[in-house]
Amino acid sequence: CKLIERERPCLIHNHHNPDFYKIFSRAREAVHPLLIIDSLHIVERPRYNFGYPALSSANSHLIDLHHTISRKLGAFLSKNGVAEDKIGLGYLSKSLTLPQKFNIDDISTKRSITISFVARMVTQKRPILSATMILDALAQIDRLGFFGKAIIAGEGNLLHIVKKIVSGSKFLNQVE
């Protein structure tokens, strides 16, 4: 939550981080406007209490968009009380569209955008793809006339590759 209080983000994208569900309420109180997206990719088994999809459904009142990559998962969320207009089907960065209430003009007075990626740096969290997408986003932010900054936090066996990707980019000084 210290990162949220320090950076005051306009968007939080959560993917399988149970600690984030615990801070969504405090984040909403601290930051305005704030868009919260939760990404899910599988319906988990009943023996695991349906895992992250169940957590996402239970916290839907704090989440603006539930990003899914399957109709089956969207149906699970809907069956568990998530409003249809809060379920977005699509691949992140390709076919997923943000809710109309999110507008970059809402943050234009800052003229800067910070992106944070907080995750274990291991294969299943796809930190190499995320680092590449973050650098692409920084380029887009730059083209829009904003100052972009990224914070990548986490430990794991792929951290050295993520650092190498960042160090080879023109945005090296804009990534913590």
1-36 per-position pLDDT tens digit? 677 777 777 778 787 778 888 888 888 888 777 788
Q: Which amino acid is at 162?
A: V
Distance between CA atoms of residues 1 and 127, nearest Å: 21
Q: How far is CA 23 from CA 1, 16, 20, 34, 63, in A?
A: 7, 14, 5, 13, 12
Is residue 26 classed as helix, strand or coil in its secondary structure? helix
**Among 109, 112, 154, which Cα is nearest to 131's?**
154
Helix, strand, coil percentages, rounded to 5, for the chain: 45, 20, 35
pLDDT at residue 107, as a whole number: 56
**What value does the CA radius of gyration of the chain take, rounded to a whole number of Å?**
16
pLDDT at 160: 96
Q: Per-residue pLDDT tens for 42-98? A: 776 665 566 788 888 999 999 988 888 888 888 989 999 999 988 887 765 555 555
Q: What is the Cα–Cα distance from 176 to 166, expressed in whole angstroms?
A: 10
Q: Please determine, for residue 133, whether its predicted confidence score (pLDDT) is greater than 80.
A: yes
SS3 18: helix
| Alpha helices (H) along the chain | 2-7, 18-30, 51-58, 71-79, 127-143, 159-167
Provide the CA 163 distance to its chain's centre, in angstroms.
20
